[in-house]
Structure 1
Amino acid sequence: MAEFEFSASEVEAATRATDDDLASRPQPKSARYDADSGRIVVEFTNGSAFMVPARSLQDLQQASDEDLAEVELLGNTGLHWEKLDVDFTITGLMSGIFGTARFMREVQSKGGRSQSAAKAAAARANGKKGGRPRKSA
């Protein structure tokens, strides 16, 4: 395996480039749970904010408001709930990744299903009438 040696000036230049890159992008400065809306709110250094429905996230669906309120920033990249042993990357959440691939497939497969008694009754009544009307050509 090859070994790499870097001079002090190369290390300093790389460190400066990283610092400049971080300074050019908004960084998360706080994270909190807003019980009124049911959302996790991440605020950034440039004044912008990102919100995500807390109970849409894998392993947080059944969490209490008190547990959700214990959200912490994990460095500049993630959210962490110590008591629940749950972590998410902010970038992932902003990309719509709310859990594992399997979790996301299960959530997406539920789209359009009858979720309430009223929806189920309406679907049954529509079925008795012959179902959805055919599209005209």
Structure 2
Amino acid sequence: MVSHEAFEQANTRAAALKKHGPQAVSARYDKRVHRLVIGLSSGIEIAFRPHAAEGLEGAKPADLDIIEISPSGLGLHFPKLDADLYLPALLEGFLGSKHWMAAKLGQQGGKAKTAAKAAAARENGRLGGRPRKQERC
């Protein structure tokens, strides 16, 4: 159970976020362009492919036809997926948490196929591959 003090602290943090940043005022999935479109209180709309957002990677268009905006305007809920997006984190981390984005960027780097990467891999193979990790004392 949440204490009264914790509840009040959460309300204070939410009020500060609302004061300093935009809130969602509308949200919809545009099937024509396959984008999630979020209207912000600042008058700006952001649109992105759902699979680019943490928690929506496997979403199908039918999963996105109902989007609920939290009373604070800081959260989006997708009932068919039981998934939530937190608007400040979404904007700050560009569609996901910093950890999730780092993993996505690492995947992209690992897929790179350049002549320099291939040469480095061949040279590393000639040397016996990656060095084994040393146990820490």
TM-score by length of 2: 0.57
**Could you report, residue by residue, the CA deviation over 1:38-87 in whole angstroms, capped at 9, with x for unpaired residues?**
32211134432122331112221111111022222122111101121111
Residue of structure 2 equivalent to 1:68: 64
- Segments of 5+ residues of structure 1 without an aligned counterpart are 1-17, 116-122, 133-137
Give RMSD over aligned pairs: 3.3
Asked if 2 retains the 8 angstrom alpha-carbon contact of 1:52 and 1:93, the reply is no
Instruction: Please give the secondary structure, in 2, of the residue aligned with 1:111.
Output: helix
Residue of structure 1 equivalent to 2:29: 33
Percent identical residues: 26
Number of equivalenced pairs? 103
Query: Higher relative contact order by CA 8 Å / sep ≥ 6: 1 or 2?
Result: 2
Q: Which has the higher helix share?
A: 2
Q: Which has the larger radius of gyration?
A: 1
1:82 is the counterpart of 2:79: yes
TM-score by length of 1: 0.57
1:103 is the counterpart of 2:100: yes
Asked if 1 retains the 8 angstrom alpha-carbon contact of 2:76 and 2:84, the reply is yes
Asked if 2 retains the 8 angstrom alpha-carbon contact of 1:72 and 1:81, the reply is yes
Residue of structure 2 equivalent to 1:7: none
Relative to structure 2, which stretch is displaced further, 78-87 or 65-74? 65-74
Residue of structure 2 equivalent to 1:58: 54
